[in-house]
Amino acid sequence: MMNDGRVFNGLFQERKGLVVALGMKDMLGGMKNAASGVVQGGLGNYSEMSVDQMRKEYGMYLMEGEEIQVGFKLIRDALIFTDKRLIFTDKQGATGSKMSVKSINLFSIVEVSMETAGFGFDDSELTFTYIQTADMKAHSLTYVSHKLEFPKKYDVQPLYRLLQELAYANCVRLNGLE
């Protein structure tokens, strides 16, 4: 981020030294889900869910003041984009009563790649790399990549653009190039 507080394309704002996404809902609002959740879930693809539905089911995992921007479902699992982090839920066991919840802070994302669907049964893929190390000024950082698959007709480009803007701003901030 720039020291003068300028906003990158209306998407980011510096708040207490952390980069947070703004306007994510508007950015992601143009994405469409053309396939049913059950079929896509069976294929290992995420299907979009309404924010209200996500809030009802996963609202108890939100931090104070945190807002869900967009959410996706994969059979019993979920991927939730908030204004502060990505939340992954993994329901386990026959009844799904056991669940793990994992968060990735948006300010830790440093690299993004995208692969759009081709001919046939290809899916769209979005891969992002984030810093897992709690202290980002440590001498040894741990990087982790995570791949997401979306239905063939799902437009992942707005999501890619958003994550790439985050990654760029985070790299600028981490390298002191502000």
pTM given for the model? 0.70
CA distance to 34, 35, 151, 153, 167, per residue, from 39 (Å): 11, 7, 10, 13, 32
**Radius of gyration of the chain measured on its C-alpha atoms:** 17
What pLDDT digit, counting tens, does each position of 143-173 carry?
A: 999 998 888 778 888 889 989 999 999 999 9
The neighbour count for residue 60, using CB atoms within 10 Å, is 8
Measure the CA–CA gap between 69 and 101, rounded to whole angstroms: 18
d(CA 178, CA 159): 24
For residue 20, pLDDT over 80 is answered with: no
pLDDT-derived band at 105 (thresholds 50, 70, 90) equals very high
91: Cβ–Cβ under 8 A, 6 or more apart, which residues?
76, 77, 97, 98, 99
**Tens of pLDDT, residues 24-69:** 433 343 333 323 333 334 345 677 889 999 999 999 999 999 999 9
- Superfamily (CATH H level) for 12-174: Bacterial Pleckstrin homology domain (2.30.29.50)
Q: Which residue ranges make up each domain of the chain?
A: 12-174
